[in-house]
Structure 1
Amino acid sequence: MTKTKKLINAPEDIIPQLIRGMVAAHPDMLTVEGGTGRAIVAVDGPRDGKVGIVIGGGSGHEPAFAGYVGRGLADAAAVGNIFASPSPEQILDAARASDGGAGVLFLYGNYTGDVMNFTMAAEELEAAGTRVRQVQVADDVASAPRDRRSERRGIAGDFFVFKIAGAAADLGEPLARVEALAQKANDATLSMGVALGACSLPQTGKPNFEIGDDEMEIGMGLHGEPGIRREKLAPADQVTDELLDAILTEMAPATGDRVAVLVNGLGSTSLVELYIIFDRLKQVLDQRGVEIHHSWVGEYATSLEMAGASITLMKLDDELTQLLDHPCRTPALTVGAVEGAAAGSARSARKTAQATDAPTKAQAMTDLKRDGAITPAIFRAMMHRAGDDIIAERDWLSELDGVIGDGDHGVTMEIGWKAVQGALSNAPDNETIEGNCKRMAKAFLDAVGASSGPLYATAFLRAGAAVSDRLNLDPPALAAWLAAALQGVRDRGRAEPGDKTMIDAWAPAVDRAQQAALSGSERDVIMAARDGAEQGMKATAELESRRGRSAKLGARSIGHIDPGAASTWVILRAMAAALEEAKTTV
């Protein structure tokens, strides 16, 4: 496969350099706040007494999300890795910078990773006394039928929902009202897209899906997720009609209704093509007697260098029209003339104060059970080996994900496990396995975000808590560690066996481990878990996905191994190999 070309430096430096360049290009509008360096904040947006608007998501969609930070729109954006949700700590930095005492509204696309990470951040803010509301944008008509609209993903409709919520907050509306108006905009907004060519992740340099020279994917997701069907490439008018038909059938505008229109390029589609699409779109709406109140044509929510476009319509009433026309000034969108911020924009010290980590309490070593072959040192070696094997299998995991997802699973797991390895390298020699697990959870969550961050962080925390009374792990304790990790993933992700997720590898791994723990050694337990995970991973190929991004594919997901199940097997395989090696050297 031909490698793609990008004007980047080291792949691991992409996000910091992106943020520095963006803020440097717009110093009158943007700044960075918070210890993570991932919260881009409006210079004159947040202010006391105003609801804070926090948006965010993965990078690679520029100008979304940080391009919509500025006066009259979003107060801050949390910036995730490429195609991956920001972590809770990154979201918290954005929220603290935006909090003017009137509460904070989180707005983001309806993706599993974003929902998990923003919800974890909301829980922490609420525990500290800040009122938080959330609206998940769900405008993509291709991703679920009308009666399951809450399952739809957010694509370019973010543009309109952010605009309406930002205007409402700028006008001084209270939190509940801003939330209601954002949801009203969400309910009034529908999108449909088409892809003509793939994008490629900077870390792999490979297209994240394959499509023929004469083919197009109808209903493509913003991360390269396959659409609802693949067809032969058709003329622009025919494609426009197909996209519009799905939107207008559901929206059912009457003669005299008004809409706002966004014709959005996905990264490498020329304005020539986008204006041709708009030309046909206007003909259709004119024929129906539907008025275009305002239109935008260009790149507003991209997918790296993907070829293709999306159409978004928001059905307007007087209230939404007024908010749509309200002035704002951001790098990606300016509407009207924005008045100066004046002195009222100065934020109180409590909003810009950085959160500090709570002091870690040294765990008492007395009374811990010391029987068992797996010492903290051996446990750390097992985790280091898991990271090594994940890194070695990165491309394979990403290729699996490219078939039924967005192609970044291997990259995401590599980032997370490298962070785990770094954290464990700094762990004191006498730190317990529970302490190691807490360290791993924070490192993974802070580094990754995405759906993997909350899932693995919860797994590590639960697993560590399950063996908090032990210094070393014996066979039953190792099985308990694995079982608690599984339960953590199930509780956080709400997936069950048969949903075609990592649970389908974890569940048989734990079942076999618990059986082996009845009479076997630590080695027997982890080997049983490894074999169970392999069996479960292979079985996912026959399952139809019911959770996550691949759930939108339906029967098209059958025949492909789930990447989360595959990475679970890689981790347990590595743990088994490391324990085997440790026993031969003791």
Structure 2
Amino acid sequence: MTDDIRTKKLMNAPEDIIPEAIEGMLSAHPDLLTVEGATRRAIVAKDGPRDGKVGIIIGGGSGHEPAFAGYVGRGLADAAAVGNVFASPSPEHIMDAARAVEGGAGVMFLYGNYTGDVMNFDMAAEECEGMGIPARSVQVTDDVASAPKGREKERRGIAGDFFVFKIAGAAAEAGRDLEACYAAAQHANDNCRSMGVALSACSLPQTGKLNFDLGPREMEIGMGIHGEPGMRRGHLESADAVSDELMQAILTDMELGKGDEVAVLVNGLGATGPLELYILHRRIAQILGERDVKIHHSWVGEYCTSLEMAGASVTLLKLDDDLKTLLDMPCRTPALTVAGSLEPVGKRTRRTHAAASSTSGIERSDLAIDGPVTPVRFRQMMLAIADAIHANRDWLSELDGVIGDGDHGVTMDIGWTAVRKELKDPTDETVSETCARMAKAFLDAVGASSGPLYATAFRKAGEAVSDRLNLDAGAMVAWIEGICAGIQSRGGAQVGDKTMIDAWVPAVAKARETLQSGGDVIACLDAACAGAKNGRDYTAEIESRRGRSAKLGERSVGHMDPGAASAHVMLVAMTEALRE
């Protein structure tokens, strides 16, 4: 049956793909790279970090190799935080990188403008500031297909990372302070534009299924590097016609005139070889030549991929004297070497930074004990969620593949697997203490957008019932409200945005309505399930207004939001577990 057909990948166990890839990268480049930190997800330059130098930390999801760890090395990034496939690294991954490279001059985080990356890097920046480490962040926003002119801050980052990272690394190598490094990187981002085309889909290692359908004679113009749909889908055209369309979009957005100078990147998305990429560059050079725009330097090859996706992107960086100087400065990394002499590395002092710790003792004799949901039953309900998410993993990822990057089910499964491992041994703890452990386990394992959202949700939910040992109907409703409030406080989504909030808000409303009518715990949970289902189904009727799918507009109508679907799965699982 076609449902059983899986894509082919050279891998061992899917859950080991990231640590094994990191191990292989380190064994291939022992002179350049090492790994530091407890998470083993911070790849650090052996000869980059040093006292008095701004620490440059880049990062993002795996699957884009050589981005991001391939740009770690002298003169470029000091470290990369490595996330799961198509998922942001977690704050702890990022902090391992920051602690490894901080040299007393502050750190700068650089990453693509995606919801998960923004939330996770923001949390890491907040932690840095709390430890006395100055931190700045630059979100790369080069993709002209993802938002119109005038709304550049909404654009996603694609292959333009290559140029922005290079400029930032050179500025730090030159000894510029944190604010000057930030200004140089932001200036590069402001003058960088990209546009891509996809000729085929890619598949996640965990699912082995193509993220979306693209016909044998079709192409997607404006495709994102996670498989997000682009501006339009159409009939496959010639290399020159594709180049013309990509360049028209870039040049309409970027002011280039006679005598201007640019750097050019023609980037393969994973399954498009140099032969085709050079044909694209041929036409790009012709177009720029017709405008009397000079190419200072070109790079042609795979620099920011999307697993095995076929297709390419074009990036232009408009140069001035400072950007040209920084672009030409030498660097030595696995994926990029710019020739030139590099001064010997100076002294490096290993610093220790104590994170703020908080301990709170709970006086169990003060806690309310009425209610059927004991801490043991609550733990069983959470384990039931982990089982249900695992069982529905592929379905949730398929929903996400239609309007997003296809990893929602995989990401949620990783998070809940970590929760299952954390809760496998019985402990004498309260519901709120269990929630705190769940939050840390989920966040450390996942990253992505789900990590910060559900970590905050679990903390808020636990706080909402911190005065109780057992949960009654009112406390159970308060716990669900805490989940919803935590997600909204971290992510900012509202009803109608086509997100998980469209399921959680009606779940809360129905549960509270049933509680006010005298319903017991099971009745309130049943009502929450019904509300979540209504909200889940409603998302198929509306356009997306947040996240990667927001770029689709009307094309997102008719497709259920995967986050709303997983919210319903969670509520049903915990309800059935309690009923049993």
Alignment partner for residue 14 of structure 1, among 4, 11, 17? 17
Q: Which structure 1 segments of 5+ residues have no match? A: 582-586
Corresponding letter in the other structure for 2:508? V
What is the root-mean-square deviation of aligned Cα atoms in Å? 1.1
Q: Does structure 1 conserve the Cα–Cα contact (< 8 Å) formed by 2:131 and 2:356?
A: no
- SS of residue in 2 equivalent to 1:268: coil
Alignment partner for residue 322 of structure 1, among 320, 325, 339? 325
Describe how 1:351-366 pairs up with structure 2 within 5 A: 358=357, 361-366=360-365
Corresponding letter in the other structure for 2:366? D
Which residue of structure 1 aligns with residue 494 of structure 2? Answer: 496
Does residue 52 of structure 1 match 2:55? yes
Cα distance between partner residues in 2 of 1:4 and 1:324 = 39
- SS of residue in 2 equivalent to 1:366: helix
Describe how 1:284-323 pairs up with structure 2 within 5 A: 284-323=287-326
Q: Does structure 2 conserve the Cα–Cα contact (< 8 Å) formed by 1:143 and 1:153?
A: yes
Corresponding letter in the other structure for 2:95? L
Alignment partner for residue 454 of structure 2, among 456, 459, 470? 456
Query: Quick check: 357-366 or 247-256, which moved more?
Result: 357-366
- TM-score (norm. length: structure 2): 0.98
Identity of aligned residues (%): 66
Cα distance between partner residues in 2 of 1:21 and 1:563 = 34
Instruction: Give per-residue Cα distances to partners, 1:438-459, cap 9 Å, x unaligned.
Output: 0000000000000000000000
CA displacement at 1:347 relative to structure 2 = 2.4
CA displacement at 1:356 relative to structure 2 = 8.0
- SS of residue in 1 equivalent to 2:363: coil
Which residue of structure 2 aligns with residue 527 of structure 1? Answer: 526
Q: Does structure 1 conserve the Cα–Cα contact (< 8 Å) formed by 2:131 and 2:355?
A: no
Cα distance between partner residues in 2 of 1:60 and 1:100 = 30
Query: Quick check: 58-67 or 517-526, which moved more?
Result: 517-526
The 1:180–1:368 alpha-carbon spacing in structure 2 relative to 1, beyond 3 Å, is same
Describe how 1:231-250 pairs up with structure 2 within 5 A: 231-250=234-253
Corresponding letter in the other structure for 2:433? G
- SS of residue in 2 equivalent to 1:41: strand
Does residue 538 of structure 1 match 2:537? yes
Alignment partner for residue 158 of structure 1, among 161, 175, 190? 161
Which residue of structure 2 aligns with residue 348 of structure 1? Answer: 349
Which residue of structure 2 aligns with residue 255 of structure 1? Answer: 258
Cα distance between partner residues in 2 of 1:547 and 1:253 = 32
Q: Does structure 2 conserve the Cα–Cα contact (< 8 Å) formed by 1:427 and 1:436?
A: no
Which residue of structure 2 aligns with residue 584 of structure 1? Answer: none
Which residue of structure 1 aligns with residue 386 of structure 2? Answer: 387
Does residue 401 of structure 1 match 2:400? yes
Describe how 1:101-180 pairs up with structure 2 within 5 A: 101-180=104-183
The 1:135–1:427 alpha-carbon spacing in structure 2 relative to 1, beyond 3 Å, is farther
Which residue of structure 1 aligns with residue 7 of structure 2? Answer: 4
Which residue of structure 1 aligns with residue 482 of structure 2? Answer: 484
Instruction: Give per-residue Cα distances to partners, 1:462-502, cap 9 Å, x unaligned.
Output: 00001100001111111111111101100101100000000
- SS of residue in 1 equivalent to 2:87: coil
CA displacement at 1:362 relative to structure 2 = 4.7
- SS of residue in 2 equivalent to 1:197: coil
Cα distance between partner residues in 2 of 1:42 and 1:366 = 52
Corresponding letter in the other structure for 2:434? N
Q: Does structure 1 conserve the Cα–Cα contact (< 8 Å) formed by 2:130 and 2:356?
A: no
The 1:392–1:338 alpha-carbon spacing in structure 2 relative to 1, beyond 3 Å, is farther
Cα distance between partner residues in 2 of 1:488 and 1:410 = 21
Runs of 4+ in 1 over 3 A off after TM superposition: 355-362
CA displacement at 1:358 relative to structure 2 = 4.9
Which residue of structure 2 aligns with residue 568 of structure 1? Answer: 567
Which residue of structure 2 aligns with residue 378 of structure 1? Answer: 377
The 1:19–1:360 alpha-carbon spacing in structure 2 relative to 1, beyond 3 Å, is farther
CA displacement at 1:516 relative to structure 2 = 1.4
CA displacement at 1:338 relative to structure 2 = 3.9
Cα distance between partner residues in 1 of 2:431 and 2:359 = 15
Corresponding letter in the other structure for 1:551? A
- SS of residue in 2 equivalent to 1:384: helix
Cα distance between partner residues in 1 of 2:131 and 2:436 = 21
- TM-score (norm. length: structure 1): 0.97
Which residue of structure 2 aligns with residue 435 of structure 1? Answer: 433
Q: Which structure 2 segments of 5+ residues have no match? A: none
Corresponding letter in the other structure for 1:483? E
- Number of equivalent positions: 576
Cα distance between partner residues in 1 of 2:293 and 2:164 = 21
Cα distance between partner residues in 1 of 2:351 and 2:360 = 26
Cα distance between partner residues in 2 of 1:9 and 1:341 = 40
CA displacement at 1:3 relative to structure 2 = 1.3
Cα distance between partner residues in 2 of 1:424 and 1:513 = 27
- SS of residue in 1 equivalent to 2:208: coil
